[in-house]
Amino acid sequence: MFNYFFTIAIFIALSSYQCYARVAPDFIKICPGQKSECLKSTVQETIPIFSKGIPSLNIEPIDPLKQDKVVVELPGGFKVELLNGTVTGFRNCIVDSVSYNDEEAEMKFHCNLTIKGKYKAKGQILIVSINGDGDAKIKITDVALMLKVKFEDVERDGEVYQEVKSYSLDYKNEGRVTFFLTNLFKGNPEISKAVLSFINENWRQLTEEFGKPVVDELVRLVFEVVKKFFTSIPKKELFVD
């Protein structure tokens, strides 16, 4: 009889363990009290690992971040398409600060990012007419990203999840942006070289015109992955008062 009850007790204990088995990967650390310094160091440690993706949660890598097509159209008729694009560098972002309360988080980062792919561009930008189709590489050095994220608690199957409700982004180029573009003026390498030189000399004005739509799209793609992360892991495994 004792053995019978002992077996039942073990079964219940194992069942309870399985029911409450941790979903969050082992590299996710909790910061009691949500102290900013702990959050900053934890996020910094997490970024390189998270960037590789989390197969157990079907979370895709964000470094490299891949996108088949990004289109930017500006007033005046200028249009540029980036095809088969990849973005690298997120895994090496430096965390400047992190703060969190139960409904909102604020994060500041510095990143060096590289965008590669094919491009098509047509129209006038600044004072230059472009009709190009070739290879593209854009190096973004020391870009500061300021993110605000709003959360909401959602209950599913008896568990509370803190999901991303909305986010906003500000950014500032504290370094510079360098363009490497081939065939900017179809069939004329000399003009293409001159146009590329002009673009790089006036990179700040150029990025002020079309940089925000590109950065917004990159952050949108990253946050699709971030949203999946918070949707997949119960709040109690991420946040402790």
- The string of DSSP letters for the chain reads -HHHHHHHHHHHHHHHHHHT---S-TT----GGG-HHHHHHHHHHHHHHHTT-BGGGTBPP-SSEEEEEEEEE-TTS-EEEEEEEEEE-GGGPEEEEEEE-SSEEEEEEEEEEEEEEEEEEEEEETTEEEEEEEEEEEEEEEEEEEEEEEEEEEEETTEEEEEEEEEEEEEEESS-EEEEES-SBTT-HHHHHHHHHHHHHTHHHHHHHHHHHHHHHHHHHHHHHHHHHHHHS-GGGT---
pLDDT tens-place string over residues 3-26 = 333 333 333 333 443 444 678 888
| pTM for this model (two decimals) | 0.84
Number of structural domains the chain divides into: 1
What CATH code is carried by the domain that includes residue 138?
3.15.10.30
Residue 102 belongs to domain spanning = 29-237
* 143-165: pLDDT as tens digits: 999 999 999 999 999 999 999 99
* Within a domain: 64: yes
